[in-house]
Chain A
Amino acid sequence: QVTLRESGPALVKPTQTVTLTCTFSGFSLSTSGMSVSWIRQPPGKALEWLARIDWDDEKYYNTYLKTRLTISKDTSKNQVVLKVTTVDPVDTATYYCARDYGAFGDTWGQGMLVTVSS
């Protein structure tokens, strides 16, 4: 059974860096063709794709946010980490991770709300 779960701080202050972790099971990110993405959704708004990391460590970023995002993986721990620098209240959102193995988003985590506030 494939599962993903997001974790990290629920509350961060403006200008800080937030580190989010996606811990998964039921698949390996060393499998050819496997990818994990991060997506976010501000309250009441649409989904926004943020970043993706592939099995071969290729990385892709949202054009408008790329200077603030860093995605990485630890295959041995079955984790994908997303760092978002210089956060602002507009970064308040539910953050999801999702798997892509032939079909983007075949499995998603439950999501976690990150609130940016002083």
Chain B
Amino acid sequence: DIQMTQSPSSLSASVGDRVTITCRASQSISIYLNWFQQRPGKAPKLLIYSASNLHSGVPSRFSGSGSGTDFTLTISGLQPEDFATYYCLQTHYLHSFGQGTRLDFK
């Protein structure tokens, strides 16, 4: 099975900062990679699909890149509502999530 490793597992930042979260697959997954945001007590929300496509309604400060085994999610200009946990998900072979990255206030 394909293992997904996110880094860092937690991250502290301030409003207005630019942050990057990475996700590495244990084997090539082409661009079959999605990113989700989850706020406490809520269901995850799709941010990015197919590595770099912004889901409808998602602010343009979110962007994704990568292919093969290495992927990044970048948030440019953090807003207060962005402090949450972020997950990557591969859909190349079955599905598997990363372990999550918790983003909190510095």
Give chain A's interface residues, CB within 8 Å of chain B.
37, 39, 46-49, 52, 60-64, 96, 100, 102-106, 108-111
| Given A49-B94, A109-B43; A103-B99 close (CB under 8 Å) | no
A46 with B99: CB separation less than 8 A? yes
Check: B11 CB closer than 8 A to any chain A CB: no
User: How many positions in chain B have a CB within 8 Å of any CB in the partner chain?
Assistant: 22
B34: chain A residues at CB < 8 Å are 103-105
A39: chain B residues at CB < 8 Å are 97
Give me 6 other A-B pairs in contact (C-beta within 8 A), A46-B97, A47-B100, A110-B43 excluded.
Answer: A47-B87, A47-B97, A102-B49, A104-B49, A105-B34, A105-B89
Cβ distance B1 to chain A, nearest Cβ, rounded Å:
5
B95: chain A residues at CB < 8 Å are 37, 49, 52, 60, 104
C-alpha spacing A105/B97, complex, angstroms: 12
C-alpha spacing A108/B50, complex, angstroms: 18
